[in-house]
């Protein structure tokens, strides 16, 4: 049941400033504009007839929203960077291998050429492949509106299932990934419905920092186990101050299984997700040991 695509309106402004203004102005009116990037999620919904009729604000032509830039505070990835770019970007590959890895697991080539990092964030699916990585890397999201930009920690970005602190008048401008601390090992693993072109059953990203043999900082982030992507502080705490041992790993896994409450859905079962999530934490720790 396809939506009536020929009736849909698209607003396209020549630059970012005017785009932001159009968005902000519309947000107060009866028909707020919906930002559109590569369309890989949007058109799935439209093709299934799953969206109300709304007007779209095209971002795709805005080169101001493209680029991967290194800054003193870390790397800034602009909103429209596609996963095809991120998986082969030298800087991303070197400093954020987990993100490059995650990008290579998004859909397949055709999707990676069009799907953007901001689209993944804005769509807000708890199964979004890049999202646990952003959590584990302490990403900060820069939101802009015509009047003022603001930065939001990604760990506070989502407020519930597909809802976020982003106001309808705001655009995702870029993502800042702080420089990883020395001694940090990044890990990413997607357990999907098949080996490619898959949606995850469980997806994990971790960063584990070890100094002088002890864990000084740990981030364990998971997708597809809750209404949003989540970090699991209790499991992170289990590693802090510890040596990386199988015992520490299994303690982290145990705590993780206690603190997450996945559900049965069309792709997997709660029990399976719980089990796999625990194993993935152990694998992440084992990987950091290497």
Partner 1 sequence: MVTRSPAVNRPRSIGRSVPKKDAAAKVTGAALYVDDLSPEGLLHGATVRSEIPAGRITRIEFDSAFDWSQVTIVDHRDIPGNNCIALIEYDQPALVENEIRHADEPILLLAHPDREKLQQALRAVKVHCEPLEAVLTMERSIACARLVHATDNVQKRFLIQRGDLEAGFARAHKIVEREYRVGHQEHLYIENNGVIARMEADGSLVVEGSLQCPYYVHKALMHLMGLPAEKVRVVQTVTGGGFGGKEEYPSMISAHAALLARKSGRPVKLIYDRMEDIAATTKRHPAIVRHRSGVTEEGELVAQDIDVIMDGGAYVTLSPVVLSRGILHAGGPYRCPNVRITGRAVATNTPPNGAFRGFGAPQTLFAAELHMDHLAESLGMDPLEIRRRNLYRLGDVTPTGQVLRESVSASECLEKAVKVSGYVKRRKALDAANRKALARPAGKGPRKVRGIGLSLVHHGAGFTGSGEVKLASIASLDLSPEGRPRALAASTEIGQGTVTIFSQMIGDALQVSHDLVEVAQPDTLRVPNSGPTVASRTCMVVGGLLSQAAADMRARLLEFDPRGWSDDRSFRKLALRHLKERGALRIDRQYQPPSGIEWNDDTYTGDAYGVFAWACNVIEVEVDLDTGDARPVEVVTANDVGKAIHPRLAEGQIEGGVSQALGWAILEELRWKDGRVWNQQLTNYIIPTSMDCPPMKVIVVENPYSGGPFGAKGVGELPMDGPAPAVVAAVRHATGQWMDEIPISPERLLEKLARLEEALT
Partner 2 sequence: MKIRCRVNGVSREVETPPMVRLLDMLRETLRLTGTKEGCGEGECGACTVLLNGQPVNSCLVPACHAEGASIVTVEGLSKRGKLSPLQEAFLHGGAQCGICTPGMLMAAQALLQENGAPKEAVIREALAGNLCRCTGYVKIVEAVREAAKVTRAAAAAKKPARKKKAAGKEKAGGKQKPAMKKAARKKPATSRGKRARRA
* Closest CB to partner 1 among residues 12, 275: 275
* Closest CB to partner 1 among residues 118, 127: 127
Q: How far apart are CA 73 and CA 252, in angstroms?
A: 30
Q: Which residues pair with 113 in a beta bridge?
A: none
User: Among partner 2, partner 1, none, what does residue 32 contact (CB within 5–8 Å per kind)?
Assistant: none
Interaction between residue 286 and partner 2 (CB under 8 A): no
- In the complex, what is the shortest distance from the CB of residue 214 to partner 2, in angstroms, rounded to a whole number? 34
Q: How many residues bind partner 1 (CB under 8 A)?
A: 41
| DSSP letter string, the chain | ----GGG--EE--SSHHHHHHHHHHHHHSSS--EEESS-TTHHHHHHTT-S----EEE-TT-GGG--EEEETTEEEEETT-BHHHHHH-HHHHHH-HHHHHHHHTSS-HHHHTT-BHHHHHHH--TT-TTHHHHHHTT-EEEEE-SS-EEEEEGGGTEEETTEES--TT-EEEEEEEEPPPTTEEEEEEEEESSSSS--EEEEEEEEEEEETTEEEEEEEEEESSSSS-EE-HHHHHHHTT----HHHHHHHHHHHHHH------SS--HHHHHHHHHHHHHHHHHHHH-
- Token output for 34: 């919906």
- In the complex, what is the shortest distance from the CB of residue 16 to partner 2, in angstroms, rounded to a whole number? 16
Interaction between residue 93 and partner 2 (CB under 8 A): no
Q: How far apart are CA 264 and CA 268, in angstroms?
A: 6
Contact status, residue 59 vs residue 79, Cβ threshold 8 Å: yes
Q: How far apart are CA 171 and CA 56, in angstroms?
A: 13
* Closest CB to partner 2 among residues 19, 206: 19
* Closest CB to partner 1 among residues 143, 191: 191
Per-residue contact track with partner 2, 122 to 161, x per CB under 8 A? Answer: ----------------------------------------
Single out the residue of 17, 25, 31, 109 in contact with partner 2 (rule: CB under 8 A): 109
> Which parts of 270-289 interact with partner 1 (CB under 8 A)?
271-272, 275-276, 279-280, 282-283, 285-287
Interaction between residue 287 and partner 2 (CB under 8 A): no
- In the complex, what is the shortest distance from the CB of residue 113 to partner 2, in angstroms, rounded to a whole number? 4
Single out the residue of 15, 17, 108, 178 in contact with partner 2 (rule: CB under 8 A): 108
> Which parts of 71-130 interact with partner 1 (CB under 8 A)?
108
- In the complex, what is the shortest distance from the CB of residue 248 to partner 1, in angstroms, rounded to a whole number? 9
- In the complex, what is the shortest distance from the CB of residue 26 to partner 2, in angstroms, rounded to a whole number? 16
Per-residue contact track with partner 2, 27 to 56, x per CB under 8 A? Answer: ---------x-xxx-xxx-xxx-------x
Give contact residues for partner 2 (rule: CB under 8 A).
2, 5-10, 12, 36, 38-40, 42-44, 46-48, 56, 58, 60-61, 66-71, 76, 84-85, 88-91, 107-111, 113-114, 195-197
């Amino acid at each position: 049941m396809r939506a009536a695509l020929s009736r849909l309106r698209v607003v396209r402004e020549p630059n970012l400033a005017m785009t932001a203004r159009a968005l902000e102005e519309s947000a107060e009116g009866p028909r707020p504009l919906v930002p559109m990037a590569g369309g890989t999620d949007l058109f799935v919904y439209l093709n299934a007839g799953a969206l109300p009729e709304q007007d779209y604000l095209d971002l795709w032509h805005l080169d101001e929203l493209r680029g991967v830039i290194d800054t003193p505070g870390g790397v800034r990835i602009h909103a429209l960077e596609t996963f095809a770019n991120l998986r082969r970007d030298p800087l991303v590959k070197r400093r954020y291998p987990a993100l490059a890895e995650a990008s290579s697991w998004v859909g397949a080539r055709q999707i990676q050429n069009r799907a953007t990092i901001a689209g993944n964030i804005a769509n807000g699916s708890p199964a979004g492949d890049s999202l646990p990585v952003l959590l584990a890397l302490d990403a900060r999201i820069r939101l802009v509106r015509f009047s003022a930009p603001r930065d939001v920690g990604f760990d506070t970005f989502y407020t519930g299932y597909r809802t976020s602190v982003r106001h309808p008048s705001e655009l995702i401008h870029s993502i800042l990934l702080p420089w990883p601390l020395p001694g940090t090992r990044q890990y990413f693993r997607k357990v999907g419905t098949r080996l490619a072109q898959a949606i995850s059953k469980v997806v994990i990203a971790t960063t584990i920092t070890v100094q002088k043999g002890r864990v000084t900082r740990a981030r364990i982030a998971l997708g597809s186990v809750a209404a949003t992507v989540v970090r699991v502080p209790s499991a992170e705490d289990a590693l802090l101050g510890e040596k990386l041992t199988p015992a520490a790993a299994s303690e982290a896994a145990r705590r993780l299984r206690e603190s997450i409450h996945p559900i049965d859905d069309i792709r997997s079962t709660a029990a399976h997700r719980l089990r796999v999530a625990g194993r993935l934490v152990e694998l992440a720790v084992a990987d950091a040991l290497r």
